[in-house]
Amino acid sequence: MEIVRRESVVKQYDRIEELSDLDQSLLALAREAMENAYAPYSRFIVGCALRLQNGVIVKGNNQENMAYPSGLCAERVAIFYAGANYPGVPVIEMAITAKALDYEVKGPIMSCGACLQSLSEYEVKFNQPIRTLLQGQDGPIWIAEAGTKTFLPFQFYVGELKR
Ligand code: THU
């Protein structure tokens, strides 16, 4: 028997001013997207901004539904839009932010498992990790340079499945 470990590393920044202008602007775009979320049931709004290799920014936010499971997270709204409209273009980085309408989100929120799995598909497709910036309403900002495997280190991947 041996222990199999996979290390996860994030960089933590306590102040937004510590980030580059480009990173600050991607987070600002995620915040902008968040304000257009449709989340009357959870009252928890999430915004996502993707930077594609061709410079295009794709924004998404959570879209809920009265039939709860029919709604979709911000990350999948954004990544599926990118996949649908820019099919050959790798996604380089992503900013995610969230706000609760009834309390304060202290610190970054992680993407859910389903979003991480969906995002990882595009990393594999383009052999390109999606650098990830996470910010709550308050508290530190996290940057995961290695992309989704930081948060889903044992993700589902079977090379032969696409045959
Ligand atoms: N949500 C996201 O949009 N992204 C996440 O990573 C986690 C959760 C949404 C789904 C739902 O509309 C609301 O947040 C509360 O779970």
113-140 tens-digit pLDDT = 999 999 999 999 999 999 999 999 999 9
Q: Pocket around ligand 1: residues whose beta carbon is below 6 Å from it?
A: 39, 42, 44, 46, 62, 64, 71, 73-75, 111-112, 115
Predicted TM-score of the model (pTM): 0.96
If you measure from the C-alpha of residue 2 to the centroid of ligand 1, how many angstroms do you get, rounded to a whole number? Answer: 36
Place of tokens 């599926």: 80
Q: Which domains does the chain have, with CATH numbers?
A: 11-151 (3.40.140.10)
151-163 tens-digit pLDDT = 999 998 887 776 6
In this prediction, residue 79 carries a pLDDT of: 98
38-76 in b/e form (b: 16+ CB < 10 A) is ebeeeebbbbbbbbbeeeebbbbbbbbeeeeeebbbbbb
48-72 tens-digit pLDDT = 999 999 999 999 999 999 999 999 9
In this prediction, residue 159 carries a pLDDT of: 78
User: Which tokens belong to 94?
Assistant: 């992503």
The protein residue whose alpha carbon is closest to atom 5 in ligand 1 is 111
If you measure from the C-alpha of residue 71 to the centroid of ligand 1, how many angstroms do you get, rounded to a whole number? Answer: 9
Q: How far apart are the first and last CA of the chain?
A: 33
19-44 tens-digit pLDDT = 999 999 999 999 999 999 999 999 99
In this prediction, what percent of the chain has a pLDDT beyond 90?
Answer: 94
Q: With contact defined as beta carbons under 8 Å apart, do 88 and 107 qualify?
A: no
- CA distances from residue 6 to 152, 154, 155 in whole angstroms, order as listed: 10, 8, 11
If you measure from the C-alpha of residue 95 to the centroid of ligand 1, how many angstroms do you get, rounded to a whole number? Answer: 14
